[in-house]
Structure 1
Amino acid sequence: MNVSSEATAAVDLTQIKRGPIVAALIIGAFVAILNETLLNIAFPDLMTEFSISPATIQWLSTAYMLVIGILVPVTALLQQWFTTRQMFLSAMILFLAGTIVCGTAPAFSLLLIGRIIQALGTGLMLPVMMNTILVIFPPDKRGGAMGMIGLVIMFAPAIGPTLAGLIIDQLDWRWLFYLVIPLAAFSIVFAAAFLKNVSDLTRPKVDVWSIILSTIGFGGVVYGFSKAGEGSWSDPEVVWTIVIGGVGILLFVIRQLLVKNPMLELRTFRFPMFTLVTILMLVLMMTLFSTMILLPLFLQTALLMTAFKAGLTLMPGGIINGIMAPISGKLFDKYGPRLLVVPGIVLVLLAVWLFTGISVSTSAGYVITLHIILLVGISLVMMPAQTTGLNQLPRHLYPHGTAILNTLQQVSGAIGTALFISIMSSGTKDFLKSKPDGSPAEALVAGLHDAFFIAFLVGILALILGFFIKKVHPPKEDQQNGAEASAQQVQHE
């Protein structure tokens, strides 16, 4: 604690111009997240070009998620050893290198290596971005800033599939990477010119065993659930990786509570609002991932849309969600979280419940409307809830809080994807058993009904948690320092 306070004093935030820093973060995040959503639509072309199976091509997504799940917990330690500029520029340089490898890959193995390098960059960048926002903005202005980040995080996936479909129709899959290269290069140049160091370097002792246990634990769980979503829960590979991952996480938690300088400070969970928000985000991300995975399947398999048309169908919701993110951030700064979080979860539940009634005759317009309702609800919950939880932490715990939230979102994404794909597959098989003459599209819709119903039940838990969310204040010392820095910032600017 004393070390952190001394380090904090060494960083003069009064001379920092927030605008260029936020712009640098937003550009980098947009490039990384856009590329993450571009590639999935190219899987059929890649399978043909490299003569590989669906199980093999899926590694481009599984490995990406796996690397991020392993790396993000370590970022809490890395942010105490390396400056903001070093972390962010290293992340973007890695991402650029990975993009170049992917775009020029002559074989699938090199394409996979390129994706892993990209994931290293993305995994480093996301926690740094959130931590920087927490440091440079006082609590009463963080909602708007986090909303701008939310705009990018949701807008990039919204246009990704449609843009990818257009590029593949006109060019070929390599252009999905070629077109990102100049954007990534520009992000590096812009960040080098405008991004400033705002982190506190305490350089704690590196505990190698914590890193090993974290890698085995989170890596095993993410990999196991990802494989379960592709195949069967009874597969020995799935069972053993989840078991080993669970044991690894348990040992990791025990070690973090025993060592003097933990890699990931789990005492953040002593702050009740942060704990509540973490559980809420786990539940909500599972519900969100259900629709992200299931809706494209419904549009392309049941409604027989092309990938490009499916992307167009889902784009309005993503764009509106992006527009709503900064608006909800401003509303959060003014009214606090409860007036946003509870109505937001109600909208999510309404959309998911209505999705349980879709059929092969459902119109695209109806799907677009429900998707918009869903993502407006998500925009009212995501950033306001996360900002509320992080606001309660003292400054020296910011890197740990952001790393925990980002890690558990990766884990919940893997669990949610596996869970809802399994429920859908089981419902599809049950339908075909009861109605052997039924069409594959009708069977898929029956499976989707089951999956969306379970997602609705999971969402009810999120609603119950949402009623306990309330506005919190940071520790008095951090609040006073933030107010003084903000006042001096205004004078400086």
Structure 2
Amino acid sequence: MAALRARFGPRYRWLLLIAVMVGTIASIMSSTIVNVAIPDMSQHFSLGQGRAQWVTSGFMVAMTVAMLTTPWLLARYGYRRTYAGSMLLLMAGGIVGGLAGHFGLVLAARVAEGLAAGVVQPIAAIIIMRAFRPHEQGRASGLFGMGVVLAPALGPSVGGVLVDLFGWRSIFFMVVPLCLLSLWMAFRYVPNTAPGGASADRNGNMIDWRGLLLAAVGTMCLLNGMVTLHGQGSDPLQAGLLLGAALASLVLFIGWQRRMAATGREPLMSLALFGYRQFAMGSVVAFIYGTALFGSTYLLPVYMQLGLNLSPSHAGTILLPAGLVLAATIAGVGRLADKQPTWLLVTIGLGLLAASFSLMLTVRLTSALWLLALWATLGRIGLGFILPSLNLGSMRPLHKNLMSQGASAISFVRMLGGAIGVSLCGIVLEWRLAAHGDSLAIAASSPARLAAFNESFLMLAALCAIAMVAALQLRAPAPAPVAPPSARD
């Protein structure tokens, strides 16, 4: 990295961040944009709802688990090989998925894309914490976050146009140009070294395969258990068995990680991370934040279309300005994070997000669209306060040797919360609809249906309020008072 810094000068760290940001945007776009192609894909392959769901679920499981492998890959192969390899895998997944003539190949391509996305996403946080000075880390997080949130904000709109013009296969090919650009930037700006400037050790410890297997089984059982509880024909017994298996996997995973550490081997996830109070509380906030973010991303469009009888184009028009406000907020809050306590910014963001969910109760079937847009925008401003601040507040206390582990662990926890959030909102919504004697299968909306949606929004607001309690613990502990010399004598 020193040679690249000497070659490109003081601007090098920003060029490095942008290089990694391009790949992260490609990976996030691949995760969100495919949703607009699922109806056409289902028709092409004659898929039922259950099989079509695996296009999204397979990606999510692969991405969530792959995040845990990033520290080992960086230590063994270095930044450049790990990043470039992930971009090649993502591009291969896009090409194979676009050319596939069988659904099995499409699913395999989505899993490959998920693996690549999972490895890439923690890398930026590691670079921000290691390459930037403390007074620049907030600004770097703001720049990175602004670019990343524009991908899911604009991706579905672009994807819808592509599907209309060229069919569902074009969605897979869309990541190819971004992958090619990221590869060019990787070989120009990304160093060969491992985190901390050490040489990559190709003969280092093998990855913790047992821990990885337990994490994969637990994640798959958890997500399938939540999906089984959600939807028509749900099977409580099967869901209970799957969720029980997920809990058992978690217990075994923790026990195995402790054993690995006790015997001097490298665990997949260092439990020493959670000995830092700020990181432990940050992980709680990240989990709930992921639940609220992904849950509301699912709930809001359904609410607008099936609760308020708005067309898909109206729903998209309302959410697009909120996405642009989010990008602008992140950029501004990133600068604030260099000067203000991160726990305060995270707490403000969670408060705004909780207020946004609560204020949805004021919307009626006869309400003006600007009121809905205002509350949605308020929630996105809250997200803008949280995104650049949470990682910084959680990871700054960590020892430098734990930075890579911390970035992958907090990304894993956030994505796990996100995957749960979608199913949780669906489960609560169906429960409250049944309690009010309604169903989404009925075309017309009603005050009873709005009441069910409102109670689902209140559940998200309550989760944000709980996260605020954890966010207050992100404050750095006060230094112990130093006794005056006379007292020490």
TM-score, normalising length: structure 2:
0.88
Q: Using the alignment, how far apart are the partners of 2:474 and 2:324 within structure 1?
A: 27
Matched, 1:39 2:44: no
Q: Using the alignment, how far apart are the partners of 2:234 and 2:396 within structure 1?
A: 39
Alignment partner, residue 345 of structure 1:
350
Matched, 1:406 2:411: yes
C-alpha contact 1:85 1:192 (8 A) present in aligned 2: yes
Q: Using the alignment, how far apart are the partners of 1:305 and 1:197 within structure 2?
A: 51
**Match of 2:399, as an amino acid?**
P
Give the 5 Å matches for 1:200-279: 200=195, 201=200, 203-230=204-231, 234-259=235-260, 260-261=264-265, 262-279=267-284
Matched, 1:376 2:381: yes
C-alpha contact 2:225 2:238 (8 A) present in aligned 1: yes
Of residues 156, 160, 163, the one that matches 2:155 is 160
User: Are residues 37 and 280 of structure 1, via their aligned partners in 2, closer, same or farther at CA, if it must alter by over 3 Å?
Assistant: same
Q: CA deviation at 1:290?
A: 2.4
Q: Using the alignment, how far apart are the partners of 1:133 and 1:127 within structure 2?
A: 10
Matched, 1:131 2:126: yes
C-alpha contact 2:438 2:448 (8 A) present in aligned 1: no
Q: Using the alignment, how far apart are the partners of 2:378 and 2:111 within structure 1?
A: 34
Pairs aligned (count): 463
Matched residue SS, 1:97: helix
**Match of 1:184, as an amino acid?**
C
**Match of 2:216, as an amino acid?**
T
Q: Using the alignment, how far apart are the partners of 1:157 and 1:146 within structure 2?
A: 17
Q: Using the alignment, how far apart are the partners of 2:297 and 2:385 within structure 1?
A: 18
Matched, 1:303 2:304: no
Matched residue SS, 1:106: coil
Give the 5 Å matches for 1:143-222: 143-200=138-195, 201=200, 203-222=204-223
**Match of 1:154, as an amino acid?**
V
Q: CA deviation at 1:96?
A: 0.3
Give the 5 Å matches for 1:30-179: 30-179=25-174
Matched residue SS, 1:81: helix
TM-score, normalising length: structure 1:
0.87
Alignment partner, residue 394 of structure 2:
389
Q: Using the alignment, how far apart are the partners of 1:44 and 1:162 within structure 2?
A: 15
Q: CA deviation at 1:414?
A: 2.0
Q: CA deviation at 1:443?
A: 4.9
Matched residue SS, 1:80: helix
Q: Name the stretch that deviates more: 217-226 or 139-148.
A: 217-226
Give the 5 Å matches for 1:281-360: 281-360=286-365
C-alpha contact 1:11 1:199 (8 A) present in aligned 2: no
C-alpha contact 1:301 1:441 (8 A) present in aligned 2: no
Q: Using the alignment, how far apart are the partners of 2:56 and 2:294 within structure 1?
A: 14
Q: CA deviation at 1:291?
A: 1.2
Q: Using the alignment, how far apart are the partners of 1:123 and 1:179 within structure 2?
A: 19
**Match of 2:172, as an amino acid?**
F
C-alpha contact 2:322 2:377 (8 A) present in aligned 1: yes
Q: Using the alignment, how far apart are the partners of 1:231 and 1:90 within structure 2?
A: 41
C-alpha contact 1:432 1:438 (8 A) present in aligned 2: no
**Match of 2:397, as an amino acid?**
Q
Matched, 1:364 2:359: no
User: Are residues 308 and 48 of structure 1, via their aligned partners in 2, closer, same or farther at CA, if it must alter by over 3 Å?
Assistant: farther
**Match of 1:159, as an amino acid?**
L
Q: Using the alignment, how far apart are the partners of 1:243 and 1:156 within structure 2?
A: 36
Kindly provide the CA deviation profile for residues 437-470 of structure 1, in whole angstroms up to 9, marking residues without a partner as x: 9945555433211211111111111222233332
**Match of 1:197, as an amino acid?**
N
Q: Using the alignment, how far apart are the partners of 2:116 and 2:343 within structure 1?
A: 35
Over the aligned positions, Cα root-mean-square deviation in angstroms equals: 2.5
User: Are residues 191 and 377 of structure 1, via their aligned partners in 2, closer, same or farther at CA, if it must alter by over 3 Å?
Assistant: same
User: Are residues 155 and 124 of structure 1, via their aligned partners in 2, closer, same or farther at CA, if it must alter by over 3 Å?
Assistant: same
Q: CA deviation at 1:11?
A: 7.3
C-alpha contact 1:276 1:469 (8 A) present in aligned 2: yes
Kindly provide the CA deviation profile for residues 238-296 of structure 1, in whole angstroms up to 9, marking residues without a partner as x: 32222112211211111211222222111111111111111112122222222111011
Matched residue SS, 1:264: coil
Alignment partner, residue 285 of structure 2:
280
Q: CA deviation at 1:113?
A: 1.5
Kindly provide the CA deviation profile for residues 328-358 of structure 1, in whole angstroms up to 9, marking residues without a partner as x: 1111101221442222222111101011333
C-alpha contact 1:296 1:310 (8 A) present in aligned 2: yes
Give the 5 Å matches for 1:414-425: 414-425=419-430
User: Are residues 226 and 394 of structure 1, via their aligned partners in 2, closer, same or farther at CA, if it must alter by over 3 Å?
Assistant: farther
Q: CA deviation at 1:232?
A: 6.5
User: Are residues 148 and 81 of structure 1, via their aligned partners in 2, closer, same or farther at CA, if it must alter by over 3 Å?
Assistant: same
Q: CA deviation at 1:48?
A: 1.9
Matched residue SS, 1:451: helix
Q: Using the alignment, how far apart are the partners of 2:254 and 2:327 within structure 1?
A: 36
User: Are residues 107 and 463 of structure 1, via their aligned partners in 2, closer, same or farther at CA, if it must alter by over 3 Å?
Assistant: same
Q: CA deviation at 1:123?
A: 0.9
Alignment partner, residue 485 of structure 2:
none
Of residues 464, 470, 474, the one that matches 1:459 is 464
Q: CA deviation at 1:100?
A: 0.6
Kindly provide the CA deviation profile for residues 69-91 of structure 1, in whole angstroms up to 9, marking residues without a partner as x: 22212223222212000110011
Kindly provide the CA deviation profile for residues 42-81 of structure 1, in whole angstroms up to 9, marking residues without a partner as x: 2222222222122221111111111112221222322221
Q: Using the alignment, how far apart are the partners of 2:207 and 2:343 within structure 1?
A: 39
Q: Using the alignment, how far apart are the partners of 2:175 and 2:65 within structure 1?
A: 25
Give the 5 Å matches for 1:11-30: 15=6, 17-30=12-25
Alignment partner, residue 475 of structure 2:
470
Q: Where do 5+ consecutive residues of structure 1 fail to align?
A: 1-9, 474-493
**Match of 2:91, as an amino acid?**
L
Kindly provide the CA deviation profile for residues 288-338 of structure 1, in whole angstroms up to 9, marking residues without a partner as x: 222111011112223344434422321111111112212111111012214
Q: Using the alignment, how far apart are the partners of 1:472 and 1:172 within structure 2?
A: 56
Q: CA deviation at 1:361?
A: 3.1
Kindly provide the CA deviation profile for residues 7-44 of structure 1, in whole angstroms up to 9, marking residues without a partner as x: xxx97886472122111111111122122211112222
Q: Name the stretch that deviates more: 93-102 or 277-286.
A: 277-286
User: Are residues 263 and 54 of structure 1, via their aligned partners in 2, closer, same or farther at CA, if it must alter by over 3 Å?
Assistant: same
